Structures are given as structure tokens and as C-alpha cells.
Structure 1
Amino acid sequence: MTASRVLVLNSGSSSVKYQLLDMRDRSRLAMGLVERIGEGSSRLTHTPLTGSGAEPREREERIADHAAALKAVAEELSADGLGLDSPELAAIGHRVVHGGLKFTEPTVVTDEVLKEIQRLVPVAPLHNPANITGIRTAQALRPDLPQVAVFDTAFHTTMPESAARYAIDVATADRHRVRRYGFHGTSHAFVSRAAAKLLGKAPEDVNVIVLHLGNGASASAVRGGRCVDTSMGLTPLEGLVMGTRAGDADPAVIFHLARVGDMGIDEIDDLLNKKSGLVGLCGDNDMREIRRRIDAGDEAASLAFDIYIHRLKKYIGAYYAVLGRVDAVVFTAGVGENAASVREAAVAGLEELGLAVDGALNSVRSDEPRLISPEYARVAVAVVPTDEELEIANQTYALVSDAEKA
């Protein structure tokens, strides 16, 4: 197709992240973030990535809603000669957090697709409404352009029922769509394929455990390019210890807090999602600050780190058992890519499983995919920077290109 650009939009409740890419060489032309939409003072930070001496630009003004935000983004892109009215723009790709079981691949947005995303709001009340708003706003700006939804949950729809089902009454679960969906799917898809490439193999020939460790964190077991298990469930709360989320906890904790602590459902929801995890354990959710406090002898920070690592080890071991054979354990996202101490601690003591980290390789900082395990290790340990925006752009462009050929 002649048009080669894709605009990727990630719309949050009060923010819009965006990137414009040229799919001929997968290069970034511009990127930016609109924050505090609808508040008294908003900020747009725009970074052009073409031309010499390009510098970030900031706008501080009130941006009332997502429509105004995207219009401001369009103005900044136009100032760089990259306007949304350009015939070079092939499509707009949207991150949509929850696609349920219906959406297993990127999908061109229609009225019926939007209705289904809306029907999924009860299982993604914080995310899907903002995603819908972003799509509708982009449609209004460019009604002639394909809008493509790329779903966080899609990569995990290959999980077998034995992994996806909770052991509760089937009729109740089906009536209310209660099952394990998983999230961070675009990251797990991108990283698992990149890990196979790093090993010099095809994705269908490798089994990998992917550890996406950011403020939100999730693990996945990927066999031959297909997800067979993941740590997040009905919502992004389940699984690993995260920045502010508790991860795995006995469900009876909720009943106990309601009965004994006299806490309401919304209060408990807020506790488990926003006041737990690392911030609940030690008051900080920044791993750099936690490590600084540990080095200074802070016992609360040290315990929080130990709990975080203990949960990581449990998932590595569990997914090793699920896969049977593991070719690589791969760290990605903000903590996974940058916290050498987390990578070292997560693998320490797992030598009998064929896992080890080389201290010198682990200490190297790089934006490139790399192995950090010694040559003798039976299982590779790798760091692969994630690129969810590129994954969304790739899926979007492939879909519209195939449609044009058809």
C-alpha cells in the first residue's frame, strides 16, 4: 500500500499517549503524552523524532476532553509536517485493554465492535471506557481512516481452559464472564518473538517465560509462540507483587476486611489496587528508591524486596513446570529492563533448573536485546526491551495492508 504511517493511541481516563511510525522501516516520526485531561491545567509534551536538532515541546493549558487532546496532538504533528490529514497516514491503531473472548486478533473498529467493547466495561471499568473515548474521538477527526483495535487480552486467548477457568460454579462464571483473561498481551507477544530471534530460532521452536516487570507486572508461559498461562486474571490485580497492587491473595481477605475491618467493597478495591504491593509494604513503588533504602539498612524496604522476589521465583518455577522445557527466561519493562538486582535475585538458587546470571553481563545497561546468562547455562536468561507501540503498529499495518490486497 502507498500510505505507510500508523498513529498509535493509548487513551487513559485522563491521558493520551501517542506515537507516529513509518512502517517502511519501523522508524518513529514523533511521540508524546497529554496529561491531566479535564483538569484545571493540562500538559502536552510532544517530541519530534525527525530532522536535526529536534527538541521536545511542552504546552501547559487546560485541555477539556479527549477530543480537545487529539486536536492538540494533531496541531503539534502538523507543525512538524506530519499532520493527521496527510495521505501518508494508513491507519490509527488503538490499545484496548479488554477484548474478552471474542477479540483474539487486531480488529477494524465498527459500530458492532464498539458495542462489544462497551459490553466488556464491567470487567475493565477503569480502562475500556477511556479506550472507547479515544476511538470515537479519532473517528471524528478522520472518519475515512481505518481505526484498528489491538487488545491487551488477545495474546492470552490461546490459554487452555485448564489455565483460564477458575474453579467456581460454571454457570455463575459464564453468566458473569468470570475467567482468567490476562493483560500486557502486546508486550508478551512482542517480547516472546524477540527472544526467539535473540536465540536464533523461530518462535514456534522455543518455550519462554516472559516477566513483564513494571509498576504493573505479569508473567507468561509461552510454548511455541502461543501463551499457555499468564499471571493476571479476570483483572490486572492477580499474580505478581506490583507497584501498588497486591497480586495473589486469599480471596477471603476481602470477606475478613468487610466483616472484621468494617470496610466497604470500594474501600477494599482501592486498598488492593492502589495501596498494596510495594507501596503498601514499604511506602515506595519505585524500585530504585527501594534499593537505595535497602543499601541504607531499611528493614521495611528489604522485606518488600524479598516478598517481591519470592513471588517472582514461585511463578518462574510454576511456569517451568507448565512448559516442561524452557529455552529462556526473559525480563522486560521498566524494572525488568533496568533493575539488575531484581534479575539476579529472581534467578539466584535456581541453578538446578539450568538458570544462572553472569554478573558482568547483568550489570551492562543497553537498549538492545541481550543475554545475561553464562555460556554454560542450560536455560538462557535474557533482557528484551518491550515495545508495545511498535507491536500495535505492526498489527495495525498488517491488518489494513491485508485488507487492501484483498
Structure 2
Amino acid sequence: MKILAINPGSTSTKIGLFEGTTELFEKTLRHSAEELAPFGAVVANQKEFRKEAILAALEEAGVKASELNAVACRGGVLKPIAGGTYKVDDAVIADLLEAQIQHPASLAGIIGKEIADENGIEAFFTDAPVTYELSELASFSGHKAIKRKGRFHALNQKAIARKFAEEQGKKYEDVNVIVCHMGGGITVGAHMGGQTVDVNDAVSEGPFTPERSGDLPTRELIDICFSGEYTHAEMKAFIQGKGGAFSYTGSIDMREIEEKAEAGDAEFKLVTDAMAYQVSKQIAAMGAVFGGEKVDGILLTGGIAYSKYITAEITKRVEFIAPVTKFPGEVELEALVLGTLRVVNGEEAAQTYA
């Protein structure tokens, strides 16, 4: 069974062709700012451009679209939904096209369904970024006017949790794990009974990241908002884009920050240690979510999990809770394909978006 996986980013489209679980090829299609400029701010305008690039890459690899059996798409900007694999249907496309937030991930379903329809097959998406499985208690923010959003790296977190469970000879639904994804955003999720019952929001909560502020003292933040020094848009950038490690060091590259720390820069080392400290606190807080049940493992993933220093600092602080295992990087294309295969092979039913 040949499955095409599609994962668009802001200036690239990552694709992979799989024969079952075996990857036949993977390619990242780069799109320059000049190429994307004519399409404006509406990402759906890029559909034909990116679709042609995908089909050309397949043809270059000697594969015809008619040979495909399914298309596995990254989830886009939709209503909050439970995790799992969904068929990309007309309702999904309608919401992707009408989404207020313009995110390139939405192109995957739009392009994927078109390719699928043209070849008489189905398109699916798995564990979308809008996956929402917070327990009722976890949904409380502390003020009735605000409900926690719980946006997180659902695709990679759940894929890593499944991989760990498989290594233990168990199903995802039968393990209790804390998964920490560390990249441009950092999310720490408590996975219990096959659901992410609590997780910090990737944009507005949790540890600071290379470019996001995470939790901030509320009163001080209010004062800054009304100081007259920042516009609304600038305050958004204050917490996402120009926050976190960038606000302290002027860099969003944790490899560069860590290299300078290792070279003896005391300020850069302090920022690195502070990030590891905050991540450790978030992991420890998630330990309480399980209500005394055994935590089977703490799983560190994402690009920052390649750092031996940061993962070691986190491990020594949290290994009293459960054994720590590293799964550096991400497995998003593989996760999309595995989700599609679980449905096609009858291991689970495709969920319906409504």
C-alpha cells in the first residue's frame, strides 16, 4: 500500500512516500519568499503552486499519483477535536478554508483531498494541532472568562508515546507517560488511558522556549500592556517571537546559545540552565495529574532533545518520578502514515469531523 504523507511548513513542504510502514523516499520542497509573495496572506492561495511541486517531486521519483492508495495529511486549523485519525471530508475542507488563523498546515488537507479525489482514494489526518483532550479539572484557568486552550504538539507527542508503549510491549492506551516536546515551542503532556488529559498551551503557558515567554507574572504583564510602549501586535510578539531565550540572548538558536554557554559565557549558561529548570518543573507538575498512579516513563522529544546537556539537567531533576527516555527529533511523517494505516487496516475506526 503506497501512502503519500504531506506536512507543509511556512516556507517548505515536507513529503514522504511509504510502502506500508517502509519509507521509500522523503523530500523537503523549499519555497522562497519571492515564490510565495504573489499569493498574499491567504495560505489557500498557495494550493496549486504547492500541489504542482508535490506531484513533480513524485514524478521525479518515478511515482505516478494513480499508484497511491491513500494520502496522509497534517491536521490544520479546525475546531477543537479529540485525538485520532479523521477522514478529510467536505466539512473539514470548509473549515480549513474559512479558518481565521492562516497556518500552512491547513494546506495539507486541502491539497491531500484534491489529490485523493482525482485518484479515487481517501485522504486522512491524524492528531491535529487542535487536539483537545483536557480533563474537566484541567480546563480551569483560574478565571471563568478564560478557558485553557491546551494547544500542543499532538502529532509528535502521541507518536512518541505510542512508540514507547510498543517498546514496552503495551498499547498506548495502557501506559501512563509524561511527554515533553522541546523545540521552538515546548509542551509537556500527561498521557493517560490514551488521552492527553493535561498539557500546557504551546503559546501562552509553560516553560519559556527559544522564542516564547511561557508563564509570565500576570500583574507585571498587565502593566506592560498598558504602559503605552507596545501596540497589540507588539505584545503578541512580546510573548511569541521575541520572548523566551531570545529576550535574554538575542538568539533563538539553542545550539548557538549552548555553544556560547560551553565556551564560558555565564549569561548564556544561566539562560540554558533556567530553561532546563522550568521544563523540569513542568514535568514534575504533570506527575500530580496521575493521582498517585504509577508513571511508566518520562519521554523527551523534539529538536532540543538532541542536547546532551539540557536533557541531562532535566533528567537529574525528574528521574525520581519515572525513568527518562530520549526520543530526539520528530517523527511526524511516520506518525501521519501510521495513523492512516491503523484506519485502513481496521485497527481503529476513522473519526468523523463535525
TM (normalized to structure 1)? 0.75
1:29 aligns with 2:24: yes
Question: Shift in Å at residue 333 of structure 1?
Answer: 1.5
Partners of 1:302 and 1:394 lie apart in 2 by: 39
User: For residue 66 of structure 2, what is the aligned residue in structure 1?
Assistant: 85
**1:19 deviation in Å?**
1.1
Provide, for residues 107-141 of structure 1, a one-character-per-residue CA deviation record: whole Å limited to 9, x for no partner: 2122222233456x34xx242xx333343334444
C-alpha separation between the residues in 1 aligned to 2:28 and 2:205? 28
Conservation of the 8 A alpha-carbon contact between 2:5 and 2:72 = yes
**Which has the higher mean CA deviation after the structures are superposed, 192-201 or 209-218?**
192-201
Q: Is the Cα contact below 8 Å between 1:278 and 1:304 reproduced in 2? A: yes
- Indicate yes or no: 2:16 matched with 1:12: no
1:291 deviation in Å? 1.9
Moved more, 209-218 or 132-141: 132-141
1:218 aligns with 187
| 8 Å Cα contact 1:94/1:135 also seen in 2 | yes
What SS does structure 2 have at the residue aligned with 1:274? Answer: coil
Please give the alpha-carbon distance, in whole angstroms, between the structure 2 residues aligned to 1:237 and 1:184: 14
**Larger C-alpha radius of gyration, 1 or 2?**
1
Structure 1 range deviating more: 156-165 or 180-189: 156-165
Which AA in structure 2 matches 1:228? V
Q: Distance in 2 between matches of 1:151 and 1:203?
A: 14
1:286 aligns with 2:286: no
Within the alignment, does 1:306 sit opposite 2:281 as a pair?
no
SS in 2 for 1:179: coil
In structure 2, give the amino acid aligned to 1:31. E
Query: Structure 2 CA distance, aligned partners of 1:200 and 1:311?
Result: 32
CA distance in 2: counterparts of 1:349 and 1:65, whole angstroms: 46
Alignment of 1:173-184 (within 5 A): 173=146, 178-184=147-153
| Letter of the 1:74 counterpart | L
1:136 lines up with 2:79 in the alignment: no
Any idea what the Cα deviations from partners look like across 1:330-350, whole Å, max 9, x if unmatched?
1111111x1111111112245
Aligned residue for 1:69?
A: 50
Counterpart among 111, 116, 121 of residue 95 in structure 2: 116
Q: Among residues 151, 172, 191, which one is paired with 1:203 in the alignment?
A: 172
Amino acid at match of 1:392: L
Aligned pair count reads 337
1:148 is matched with which residue: 124, 130, 144? 124
Q: Which amino acid aligns with 1:161?
A: E
Contact 1:195–1:384 at 8 Å: present in 2 too? no
Partner residue of 2:42?
Answer: none
How is 1:272-351 mapped onto 2 (pairs within 5 angstroms)?
A: 272-323=239-290, 324=292, 325-336=294-305, 338-350=306-318
- Partner of 2:70, secondary structure, is strand
User: For residue 162 of structure 1, what is the aligned residue in structure 2?
Assistant: 137
User: What TM-score, normalized to structure 2?
Assistant: 0.85
Q: What percent of counterpart residues are identical? A: 24
Q: Which deviates further from its counterpart, 264-273 or 69-78?
A: 69-78
Give the aligned residue type for 2:166.
K
Equivalent residue letter for 1:342: I
Shift of 1:253: 4.6
Amino acid at match of 2:55: A
Inter-partner Cα distance in structure 2 for 1:261 and 1:79: 55
Q: Which amino acid aligns with 2:325?
A: A
Residues 72 and 123 of structure 2 are in contact (CA less than 8 Å); yes or no, is this contact kept in structure 1?
yes
Judge conservation of contact 2:85–2:124 (CA < 8 Å) in 1. yes
Structure 2 CA distance for partners of 1:80 and 1:204, relative to 1, 3 Å: closer
